[in-house]
Amino acid sequence: MGKKLKELARLVTGEVIGKEEIVINGVGGADNAQSNQITFAQNEKFLKEAEQRAAAVIINQKLSQLEINIPVIVVDNPRLAFAKIAKEFISCPYYNSQISKQAVISPQADVGTNVSIHPGVVIAEGAKVADDVVLAPGVYVGTNVRIEAGSILHPNVVVEHDCQLGERVEVHPGTVIGAEGYGFETSEEGHVKVPQFGDVIVEDDVEIGANVTIDRAATGSTVIGRGTKMDNLIHIAHNVEIGPECLIIAQVGVAGSAKVEERVTLAGQTGVAGHLTIEDNVTVATNSVVTNDISAGSFVSGYPAHDHRAERRIKASRKKLPQMRSKMRKLEKEVAQLKEKLSKEEGI
Amino acid sequence: MGKKLKELARLVTGEVIGKEEIVINGVGGADNAQSNQITFAQNEKFLKEAEQRAAAVIINQKLSQLEINIPVIVVDNPRLAFAKIAKEFISCPYYNSQISKQAVISPQADVGTNVSIHPGVVIAEGAKVADDVVLAPGVYVGTNVRIEAGSILHPNVVVEHDCQLGERVEVHPGTVIGAEGYGFETSEEGHVKVPQFGDVIVEDDVEIGANVTIDRAATGSTVIGRGTKMDNLIHIAHNVEIGPECLIIAQVGVAGSAKVEERVTLAGQTGVAGHLTIEDNVTVATNSVVTNDISAGSFVSGYPAHDHRAERRIKASRKKLPQMRSKMRKLEKEVAQLKEKLSKEEGI
Amino acid sequence: MGKKLKELARLVTGEVIGKEEIVINGVGGADNAQSNQITFAQNEKFLKEAEQRAAAVIINQKLSQLEINIPVIVVDNPRLAFAKIAKEFISCPYYNSQISKQAVISPQADVGTNVSIHPGVVIAEGAKVADDVVLAPGVYVGTNVRIEAGSILHPNVVVEHDCQLGERVEVHPGTVIGAEGYGFETSEEGHVKVPQFGDVIVEDDVEIGANVTIDRAATGSTVIGRGTKMDNLIHIAHNVEIGPECLIIAQVGVAGSAKVEERVTLAGQTGVAGHLTIEDNVTVATNSVVTNDISAGSFVSGYPAHDHRAERRIKASRKKLPQMRSKMRKLEKEVAQLKEKLSKEEGI
């Protein structure tokens, strides 16, 4: 599985300084790479760590000016180059191109070629599992679900009926796609369930963390846009539309019918209220609560979420609140005294 | 599976205007219903959408005054009527009245008639699974668990030993009922587990979302009251008592021994501290932290949660904090100047 | 399974008052113990409850001064003594010393003696499962995972490749250990996954709640320290290091590379930002957001988390904000009037 350094450099259109013929057998961190592995360094500290142990190191132009005693690949963005090179060496641990006899596959399911289907997987009738898909142990694929080519579902992922996953989608363990949305109509008979007969569409190249929940739409589709990356324990309610290339960090919750447009970042534990729009390229800071539309390009925080710099000033002022109160009491006393003095003088 | 419009109208005690003999084959949204489906509309916009595609539409008295070119059912609450009619057409996708050979059922378990038990289900000894229960793939039913008639457990739901689910309970995928409560006694030997030998009682007609956790009581029972509806990723700690007909939205956490009475709404991401009482008909707004008892009928928000209107005024004032600080600095300066002037005058 | 009261007293180095030869058959709560069970009481109310039903009660020196009509064990810490005695009577419901034929165990896995392996368990190649380990239904043990002696994994727990669990670790249902960390490098090609080839190390005597997610390190290890106890629905990101004997309450999120030292308490729904250090013996109150290093022994709260008493004063002042604003408006008016008066007088 070894690759020559020059081959790896070609992959990331980088320039080799040093022995380009050496063979690399894997990737490692700057502080734990082995002597036949390549790593990367963004600053001198990590470069020195790398020099002590790695076979080669990926760096940027600036660091390449230094004296370095191992071969290097010079690129604009070492972390990106490292990410791409790592893909050459790291493969999905569930990839084995086999269909386990302990999997239960409906004869009415349509299963492609070169799939890896592990024990305990259940595929219901009408489901389509395309070529090269990996289904780890305990995965459930519901009736009429479609999973396109190259997607990887980690253990115990559940995809309920009629939902669609695009190509190269990766879903981490315990995540539930397509549970019924939360919709009830309250009447004298109690809370009556409003039927949730929509679905979930997860577009190509989406990655979803562990123990996430994405609810099916009441009608129509809940959508996760192409290339969006989601962390763990996130809640996406029914009819939410997340655009392409968004970053959604752990424990975020997005309420029903909210629309999150392109390249939006929602930082950890943030809440987004229902029926609003967060436009393109917005960043919402950690632990914010978005209660209104947010216009394109904004950086917001707080509850309700608003301009981040304004919120920072408010947070700074907030710390002075007890002092402000005592200052105010002092001012009130002083003003009262001034008034008294002045009225006495007038009285004279 | 088709039903005449007049039959559906009878079901919701509605009045038909138009051809009451037409056959309806399903339900759909106003914006996506098919030509043999019924939908509902709450306003003119949706009514126009419905007219263009649906076979019939459910509306209220007011909308029925308009000229409408498809048959209608007139009722007081169209959404509620739609919810009831939808039940006639939508059935649980796991309902098949079969017991899979790939399920593992203890000979000491008591399984009723007309159950649907899917592959990968495990039912432990002493468990009782009543008539018409549906257990989707990967469900675990622990020792001495009771699941009453008509309940539906979606894939990978776990119910640990001795817990009880009432009739018509629905639990969405990945939810864990009856994990041990979090109780430790800290000593020189570290944190020693306090045994959690209570259980969880989920009453009739409760619905629980995906990846929820409801812990068993230390002693006695954690209770979810009749007809309460819970969203996803909620945490209910040991010995919590949730009353009937509550609405608990996603990512709420309720700490140990808290008591939530009847028809309480806890909005998303709210936290409730332990050992307190939230009385009947309280609404807690999103992202609040309840740290004290809340009296019946209150609408609260904030941290600590208090009167919602007061909290709104505080949030509005909070935005003015930086201005208030600069105004205060200005006032201090002015008062100082006034004092100086006045003392000069006196000095004259 | 009965034990004499004097044996139980010896176990907790307590003193018996009353019939020390009576046989105890189990433990119960003060309000629901049966007539052959032992309970404990921390105050007179619970003591009276216990007297009415239990066979014996564990109390402290102070309560032992009272007239009590059932045998007692007197100790310094009744709750701790109760916890230890309960262990004699309560056993893991999954303990059966059997390997199910419906488990799928790789021939390349190393399985110890006296293990309990239930239906639906999958153990991948290279995994080591030590003596006395309990794997409940649906547990997945990935390639090269090590699970040391006496650990208990509840239903549907997932441990992905290369992760290590120490001795006597208990993991509750649905928890995911070793999902890939959330690391992407954004480029013109979208968000490119940065490989996550580290692992997770869970040390001895750790307990982890239900539906928790602990991500593997990008490189190196994510660590949960010896004796730490974690509640439900917690998110631990890649490269986080949690020290020994910490208490982490439900729905906490800890971002990447944060370091939490020894005996730290993180209360419910708290967020901890990445790349910071919380030193020994810190307590973070519920719903806080830690954005900076916290020094040893501090009690902090708020967003950003800071001294808890200061935060309480701020929260109290915050409630007065609308009043402060109106007072300030009044002051401004008064000062303006004073200025006017004074300038008129000067003008005279």
- pLDDT digits 0-9 by tens, A237-286: 999 999 999 999 999 999 999 999 999 999 999 999 999 999 999 999 99
pLDDT score for C348 = 60
Query: Which of the 8 DSSP states describes residue C93?
Result: T
Residue with tokens 């000095």: B347
Residues 217-256 of C with CB under 8 A from A: 218-220, 233, 235, 237, 251, 253, 255
**Structure token digits, residue C68:** 């009590």
Closest residue of chain A to B311, computed from CA coordinates:
A303
SS3 B88: helix
Distance from CA of C27 to the nearest CA of B (A): 9
Average pLDDT for A216-225 = 95
**pLDDT above 80: residue B172:** yes
**Structure token digits, residue A291:** 């209660």
SS3 A192: strand
Long-range interactions of B20-24: CB distance < 8 A, separation 24+: B20/B71, B22/B55, B22/B56, B22/B71, B24/B55, B24/B56
Cα distance between residue A158 and residue A155, in whole Å: 9
Residues of C in Cβ contact (< 8 Å) with B327: 328, 332
Whether residue C191 lies in the annotated active site: no
Taking only the tens place, the pLDDT of each residue in B94-131 is 999 999 999 999 999 999 999 999 999 999 999 999 99
Which of A115-119, A217-221, C336-340 shows the highest mean pLDDT? A115-119
> Could you tell me what percent of chain B has a pLDDT over 90?
92
Cα distance between residue A212 and residue A235, in whole Å: 6
Question: What is the residue type of C222?
Answer: T
CA atoms within a 13 Å half-sphere pointing along the CA-CB vector of A304: 15
Tell me the backbone φ, ψ of residue C94, rounded to 5 degrees.
Answer: -95, 0
Residues of C in Cβ contact (< 8 Å) with B313: 321-322
What angle do the packed helices A321-347 and C321-347 form, to 10 degrees? 30
pLDDT score for A325 = 94
**pLDDT above 80: residue B345:** no
For residue C174, count CB atoms less than 10 angstroms from its CB and return exposed for 0-12, middle for 13-18, buried for 19 or more: buried
Which of B266, B212, B200, B265 has the alpha carbon at shortest distance from B238?
B200
Residues of A in Cβ contact (< 8 Å) with C310: 319, 322
For residue A61, how many other CB atoms are within 10 A of its CB? Answer: 10
pLDDT band for position A91 (cuts 50, 70, 90): confident
**Structure token digits, residue B160:** 């640990």
pLDDT score for C313 = 96
Please name the helix (run of DSSP H) or strand (run of DSSP E) that holds residue A331, with its range, or none: helix A321-347
pLDDT band for position C79 (cuts 50, 70, 90): very high
Query: Which of the 8 DSSP states describes residue B89?
Result: H
Which of C145, C107, C99, C106 has the alpha carbon at shortest distance from C122?
C106
Mean model confidence pLDDT for chain C: 96
Residues 132-161 of C with CB under 8 A from B: 136-138, 154-156
Rg of chain A over all Cα atoms, to the nearest angstrom: 28
pLDDT score for B199 = 97
Are B156 and C136 an interchain contact pair (Cβ–Cβ within 8 Å)? no
Query: Which class is A104-309 in CATH?
Result: mainly beta
Catalytic residues of B: 238
Distances (CA, A) of A170 to A132, B337, C266: 12, 68, 31
A185 bridge partner residues: A192
Taking only the tens place, the pLDDT of each residue in A170-182 is 999 999 999 999 9
Taking only the tens place, the pLDDT of each residue in C186-222 is 998 899 999 998 999 999 999 999 999 999 999 899 9
pLDDT score for B348 = 60
pLDDT score for A164 = 98
**Structure token digits, residue B2:** 């088709």
Residues of C in Cβ contact (< 8 Å) with A95: none
Tell me how long chain A is: 348
Query: Which of the 8 DSSP states describes residue A18?
Result: S
Distance from CA of B79 to the nearest CA of A (A): 7
Distance from CA of A5 to the nearest CA of C (A): 19
Average pLDDT for A292-319 = 97
pLDDT score for C91 = 82
**Structure token digits, residue B81:** 């009527």
For residue C160, count CB atoms less than 10 angstroms from its CB and return exposed for 0-12, middle for 13-18, buried for 19 or more: buried
Taking only the tens place, the pLDDT of each residue in C42-69 is 999 999 999 999 999 999 999 999 999 9
Query: Which of the 8 DSSP states describes residue C43?
Result: S
Strands A265-266 and A283-284: parallel
Strands B277-278 and B259-260: parallel
Q: Where are the alpha helices (DSSP H) in chain B?
A: 5-11, 44-53, 78-89, 308-318, 321-347
Mean model confidence pLDDT for chain B: 96
What angle do the packed helices A308-318 and B321-347 form, to 10 degrees? 50
Query: Which of the 8 DSSP states describes residue A214?
Result: E
Taking only the tens place, the pLDDT of each residue in B210-245 is 999 999 999 899 999 999 999 999 999 999 999 999
Are C317 and A324 an interchain contact pair (Cβ–Cβ within 8 Å)? yes
**pLDDT above 90: residue A330:** yes
The strand order across the sheet containing C146-147 reads C110-111, C128-129, C146-147, C164-165, C199-202, C221-224, C241-242, C259-260, C277-278
For residue A180, how many other CB atoms are within 10 A of its CB? Answer: 23
Long-range interactions of A274-278: CB distance < 8 A, separation 24+: A274/A237
Taking only the tens place, the pLDDT of each residue in C248-259 is 999 999 999 999
pLDDT band for position B90 (cuts 50, 70, 90): confident
Are A250 and C273 an interchain contact pair (Cβ–Cβ within 8 Å)? no
The set of chains that have 3 or more CB pairs under 8 A with B is A, C
Residues of C in Cβ contact (< 8 Å) with B184: 229, 247
Intervals of CATH 3.40.1390.10 along chain B: 3-89
Tell me the backbone φ, ψ of residue B25, rounded to 5 degrees.
Answer: -110, 0
Closest partner residue to A320 among B154, B210, B325, by Cβ? Answer: B325
pLDDT score for C218 = 93
Quick one: how far is CA A156 from the chain centroid? 20
Of A118, A238, A275, A306, which is the active-site residue?
A238
Residues 89-118 of A with CB under 8 A from B: 104
Greatest C-alpha distance within chain B: 107
The set of chains that have 3 or more CB pairs under 8 A with C is A, B
Intervals of CATH 2.160.10.10 along chain B: 104-309
Residues of C in Cβ contact (< 8 Å) with A331: 331
Distance from CA of C22 to the nearest CA of A (A): 48
Which of A218, A261, A221, A263 has the alpha carbon at shortest distance from A242?
A261
Q: Where are the alpha helices (DSSP H) in chain C?
A: 5-11, 44-53, 78-89, 308-318, 321-347
Residues of C in Cβ contact (< 8 Å) with A250: 182, 213, 235, 237, 253, 255
CATH classification code of B3-89: 3.40.1390.10
Are C209 and B161 an interchain contact pair (Cβ–Cβ within 8 Å)? no
Cα distance between residue C205 and residue C316, in whole Å: 41
Strands B299-301 and B306-307: antiparallel
Mean model confidence pLDDT for chain A: 96
Distance from CA of C11 to the nearest CA of B (A): 14
Are A331 and C331 an interchain contact pair (Cβ–Cβ within 8 Å)? yes
Are A209 and C213 an interchain contact pair (Cβ–Cβ within 8 Å)? yes
For residue A90, count CB atoms less than 10 angstroms from its CB and return exposed for 0-12, middle for 13-18, buried for 19 or more: middle
Closest partner residue to A194 among B83, B120, B210, by Cβ? Answer: B83
Average pLDDT for C19-23 = 96
**pLDDT above 80: residue A338:** yes
Tell me the backbone φ, ψ of residue B247, rounded to 5 degrees.
Answer: -120, 120
Least confident stretch, A67-81, A159-173, A332-346? A332-346
pLDDT score for A205 = 98
User: Whole-prediction pTM value?
Assistant: 0.96
Quick one: how far is CA A124 from the chain centroid? 29
Of C154, C172, C238, C306, which is the active-site residue?
C238
